[in-house]
Homo-oligomer: A and B are copies of this chain.
Amino acid sequence: METFTIKDIARELNLSTSTVSRALRGSYEINPETKRLVMECAERLNYRPNPIALSLKGSSSRAIGVIVPQIANYFFSQAINGIEAIAYNRGYHVIIFQSQESYEREMANVNQAMSRKVDGLLISLSSETSDVAHLRDVIDKNVPVVLFDRVSAELNVTQVVADNFGGAFAATEHLILSGRRRIAHLTIQPWLSITQERLAGYRAALEKHGLEFDENLIRYGTFGPDEVGPMVDELMALDPIPDAFFTASDRLAVGCLKALHQRQLAIPEDVSLIGFTNLNVADLLSPSLSTVVQPAQEIGQVAAERLIDLIENKQRAKPVDTVKIPTELVVRDSTNFVEHAEPLGAARTL
């Protein structure tokens, strides 16, 4: 099972490497008979073009770079799954980088991906990233880039996101319709696109139902360990206290659920809880967790498809735009609907 090169074929058939090369890629200026011989010989030797040499030549490397903040994260691992599936079908390999939520590492990752001559870049920004100059460099070099999930409005490239506004609006409205009035929102860094969109959806739902927006009910996480407990404590010390939590990520939803359990707060009797997540065990949690489902895998697939379209068809691929993948509200026990919503402060019974 050794590896044969174009030279071996040339030697075997007493041809030049050029001829073999052109025969292999079906050039018109090669005798059909010669072409047949070459093809057959290549088949016989199980010839496979050397992707490294092709990359060096400057053509395509048939690899795409994927940069995510964390692999061990329900959302990203499923997104990568979608990416890999599409890439495999279209003959590309996936080189994975983790930014670990660090701006420094993200820049390093971008440079490494470039020096590996990836044909395109799929990236979800780290939570530290506010300046996107490093990506602008890549785009200027004419390397296709598609952002997904954690995107940036400053870049004029295709972006693929969940319908964050719509999902947040639906979640918030659901809480309101089930009688909640003081809805806390636990989210992540405020400068991220997804944070802003979800916050906007949350505000819009409040406004629609005539509820006041209270900045005190918003808490911004920082991806640190065990940060959710203190946030919950702060919120529950408010007056009046919140009667619902809307969390913006997998990590926060799980952390919040754990923190509420530890503090002996009953869900949904004391507080409702709804997450913006991608957990496939949400219905098995205690209580089963209402969620806005993000189609992580589909986001990955769409992003990969758009990227490869750009790579293979730079001229007439679909125009740059922002693709919004719909989210879905799934109501479970953590936000049990209360038949007759009671006024704030009244005792709630179930």
Contact = CB atoms under 8 A, between A and B. Distances in A.
Contacts of A98: 81, 84-85, 88
A266 interface: no
Interface string A134-168: 00010001000000000000000000000000000
Interface stretch (A52-60, A216-224, A335-343): A52-60
A137 B1 CA distance: 7
B55 A52 contact: yes
A257 interface: yes
Contacts of A114: 3
Contact of A96 (B3, B53, B96): B96
A288 B261 CA distance: 12
Given A1-B137, A254-B284, A77 B84 contact: no
Given A56-B56, A93-B95, A285-B285, A51 B84 contact: no
B61 A71 contact: no
Interface in A252-266: 254, 257-258, 261
A237 interface: no
Contacts of A48: 111, 115
Interface in A280-298: 280-281, 283-288, 297
B297 A284 contact: no
A70 interface: yes
Given A93-B95, A96-B84, A115 B285 contact: no
B3 A115 contact: yes
A287 B286 CA distance: 7
A3 B111 CA distance: 10
B116 A52 contact: yes
A187 interface: no
Contacts of A258: 283-284
Interface in A96-120: 96-98, 111-112, 114-117
A50 interface: yes
Contacts of A283: 258
B88 A77 contact: no
A281 B254 contact: yes
Nearest to A254: B281
A347 interface: no
Contacts of A137: 1
A94 interface: yes
Contacts of A297: 72
14 contacts: A3-B115, A52-B56, A52-B115, A71-B80, A73-B77, A77-B77, A85-B98, A93-B116, A94-B95, A96-B96, A257-B284, A284-B285, A286-B286, A286-B287
Interface of A: 1-3, 48, 50-53, 55-56, 61, 63, 70-73, 77-78, 80-81, 84-85, 88, 93-98, 111-112, 114-117, 137, 141, 254, 257-258, 261, 279-281, 283-288, 297
